[in-house]
Structure 1
């Protein structure tokens, strides 16, 4: 999402001074470690805080945030089920 904030600010002529995205989530490690098959092996919820500073107004940064939420591949992939294909290359 960092790239999205930088790009959206650049498109609007906003100079960024700092950008930080702090994330946290709830996960039961007994599922992740395979100790209890009844427990999901992923996060139950995720939360994040975006700290942004620059020469934009609060309204401009709110528009940037809305645009990032609407176009971010990360937001999309976390909010929607997407296909996942893996390849193992042992060398």
Structure 2
């Protein structure tokens, strides 16, 4: 593997665990606002190759919500009700 692969697995795991509610508020604060919470295609690809089905599902759903939110915030319509924005959660802490 290598450091880059290990880092990608760690990032995907953190994002999945955050979506599943497995990260404590304190740990999320330690990761900070600079941590890219948006789920990317790379995160989903890494998850499919290395993570559990539960984490894969969380990231897949997170990516879908991110893509819908990006279309909604671009001015083409309202955001989907019930979207979860980690940025707002982190700022509230």
Q: Give the structure-2-normalised TM-score.
A: 0.28
Q: Give the structure-1-normalised TM-score.
A: 0.28
| Structure with the largest fraction of strand | 1
